[in-house]
Structure formats: C-alpha cells, structure tokens
Amino acid sequence: MKTATSTSRMYRKIARTALIFIFPVVIYNIVFRIYPIIYSLYLSFTKFSGLGTPKFVGIENFQRLFADKEFWLSTLRTLQFSAEVLPTNMLLSLLLALLINRKMVGISLVRSICYLPVITPMVAASVIWTWIYDPNVGILNFVLNLFGIGPVNFLGNMSTALHSIVVMRVWRGVGWNMIVYLAGLQSIPKEVYEAASIDGANSLQKFARITLPLLRPVHMYVLLVGLASTLQTFTEVYVMTQGGPINSTTVVGLLIYKTAFDYMDMGYASAMSFVVGTIIMLVSILAVSRRKEIAM
C-alpha cells in the first residue's frame, strides 16, 4: 500500500513537471496561431479597414474573390512558381545527396557548404541575389560580359523576373532537401545492394530499381513540404521585385499582403488567405491519398 502511494506521488510530480514545460507552448500556440486563425476567419466575413469596428457582410468577400481576375492570375503564377521550383529542387537535392553519401576527405565541409544557404535569412539571401542580378554591378552580368553578352535586366524584364526568383529559391532550399535525401539514402540496408550486385545488377539498375523506389516516402515528404512552402512564397518576391515588373511576379502571398496593408482591406485579404489555405490543404490530402494508393 505504501509502495502504491509512493508511485502515485511520483506520477503526479512527473505530470506537474510536464505541465510546467508544456504550458508556455500551449499559450504560445493559442495566442499566436489558433486565435489569429479564428479571428482571420471572422474577418473574412466582414468589411474591415484595420480601424474601427468590422462590419459583417456575409459571403460578399468570397463572391468578390471568385470573380477577381487578379487573384486567380496570381494563384496561377504561384502554381507556376511551385511547378518550376519543386522538380528542380528535388532533382538537384537527390544528386547532391548521392554525391556526398560516401566516405571521403573533407566530406563534412562539403555538406556544411551545401547547407549554408538554408541558414541564411531569406531577406539577406534575397538582397544578395538582387545584387547578383543587378544589370550594372551584378556579378552575373559581369560573367556574361566576359563572353561578349550585353547586360541583362533579370529582375526588370517580364520574361525573366519570375524565373530569376525561381533560381534563387532553388539555391536556398536545395541544402535542406539534400539532408533529407541523405538520411533516406543512409536508411537503405546495404544488404539490398549487395544482393543486387550478386545478381549482376549494375549501378544504374540499382539506382532505378532499389534507390528510387525505396526513397518514395522521402520524395513525398519533400514534395508536400516544398509545395506548402512555395505556395506561401512572399519574402523573396517582396524584397527582389515587389511583384513587378507589371505584376509579372505578383504571387498570391504578396497580393494578400498588398490587399491587407496597402489597400487596407483586411476582410477581403482574410478571405483570400482562407481560399489559399484550403487549396493547400486539398492538394496535400490529394497527394497523401495518392501515396497510399501507390503503397497499396
């Protein structure tokens, strides 16, 4: 009886300690995540300039949104951005992971250098690439000039601006995905490759029939996380082009920001946010469902 009481006290003490550590996280999530989402949902049914009292307008913002050509063009532009970034990023990440998945002198330094862009703040990375692309003093135009090619205004030209931001985004994200792929590669049992070698499989056959299929969960993870991230793109576009030239780089995240803080139309911006959030959620559910079908 005495032992049971002692055990019970110990569990209560552990529970109290756990609550002390969990409490700040719970408060943080309620204040900075859950409450803003609920309040934003409320604002999406109102007309609100940021001052005064929100005026309830029902589904007017959503009706306006579905007829808003600018919103759907920016959504398509965001999807184009994702479609360019994700395959390039995944391919380069996998190739880099294959290259560094071996024992060699200085491999830790190589991995650190590849990962360096990931820990570079997005604003700083955007400023650096703005300078690289500069038509007058940028290093990229300096290199092109060595080959007799005249200056190119990468960020000021409608045909190159979005693709230039894609390059920057791939550069910054490839290190993270490289580490994820590296972890996936190192989780594949060596015995599988040894058995394939005994059967006479060459390197290409091992890659196609062992490595790629066993990395399928990693592909899906990288794809889903990358998709959610690219669909919320904002900082690099805001810093590098601010949506120009002539809205050719205005992605939906930037449009929502401008609607809320430039035009002071918080209710409409909130409605946009929820539609974009719903699109991201549906795409994610579809991708996960597809993965389960393939796995079966």
Is residue 223's pLDDT more than 80?
Answer: yes
The model's pLDDT over 104-155, given as tens digits with 9 standing for 90+, comes to: 778 888 888 889 999 999 999 999 999 999 998 899 999 999 998 888 999 9
Report the C-alpha gap between 91 and 167 in whole angstroms. Answer: 14
pTM for this structure? 0.86
45-101 tens-digit pLDDT: 999 988 888 999 999 999 999 899 999 999 999 999 999 999 999 999 999 999 988
Query: Scanning the structure block, which residue is given the tokens 């003490």?
Result: 13
CB atoms within 10 A of CB 156: 15
Residue range 192-211: mean pLDDT, rounded:
90
Measured over the CA atoms of residue 98, residue 99, residue 104 and residue 107, the dihedral's sign is negative
Residue 290 clears pLDDT 80, i.e. is over it: no
CA distances from 41 to 47, 61, 87, 141, 204 (A): 12, 12, 33, 46, 51
Q: What is the rounded CA–CA span in Å between residue 149 and residue 210?
A: 45
Mean of the per-residue pLDDT values of the chain: 90
pLDDT digits (tens, 9 = 90+) for 122-135: 999 999 999 999 99
Phi, psi (rounded to 5 degrees) for 55:
-105, 120
Query: Per-residue confidence at 293, pLDDT binned at 50, 70, 90?
Result: low
What is the model's pLDDT at position 58?
Answer: 92
Residue 296 or 70, more confident: 70
- Counting Cβ atoms within 10 Å, is residue 51 exposed (0-12), middle (13-18) or buried (19+)? exposed
Containing 56, the helix (H) or strand (E) segment is strand 55-56
Residues of the chain by 3-state class (helix, strand, coil), percent to 5: 75, 0, 25
Q: Which residues are paired to 47 by β-bridges?
A: 55
Q: Is the pLDDT of residue 241 over 90?
A: yes
pLDDT value at position 242? Answer: 93
- The answer to whether 271 touches 42, Cβ cutoff 8 Å, is no
